[in-house]
Amino acid sequence: MTGSPPSISSGLDPAVLPNPSRRGLITALVLLAATACAILALVLLSASRRDPYTQAVLSQPGSAQDGGRLFRLNCAGCHGLAAQGLVGPNLHGVDRRKSDRQLIQQVVSGRTPPMPRFQPDPQAMADLLAFLHSLP
């Protein structure tokens, strides 16, 4: 940029601030930005922790047997009767790739078509989770 500097100093104007304090200012800004990011991450994390549906699912033990029944009715058409994969992927060991929260999101969000959005009640979702955990 050429021409005369703006009449209102931005605070970062090298003509106004000597170098050491400029560096201090930049450090302070970087620290401020990092703190803001950390706070945002914490807020988002605790929001997902507080999500009442996920909490309800995770707070009760599921039955892998009931989950298996739900799976054969709702999921086997795409994932195969033995969850070996068909239209949808093989689900054996999926609990090592995805956390419980991610698995719940996968089932209820409908974010990965053609897999539809399911709305199981918390007990049914806990059963499905138990079933997914039972797959070797």
Stretch that binds ligand HEC, among 5-13, 32-40, 54-62, 109-117 (CB under 6 A): 109-117
CA–CA gap between residue 28 and residue 21 (Å, rounded): 10
SS3 label, residue 43: helix
Angle, helices 64-74 vs 122-134, to 10°: value is 100
Stretch that binds ligand HEC, among 14-22, 36-44, 45-53, 115-123 (CB under 6 A): 115-123
Size of the site for ligand HEC (CB under 6 A): 21
CA–CA gap between residue 44 and residue 55 (Å, rounded): 15
**Smallest separation, CB 27 to ligand HEC (Å):** 41
Q: Which amino acid is residue 111, in one-letter code?
A: R
For ligand HEC, the binding residues in 57-76 under the rule CB under 6 A are 74-75
91 near ligand HEC (CB under 6 A): yes
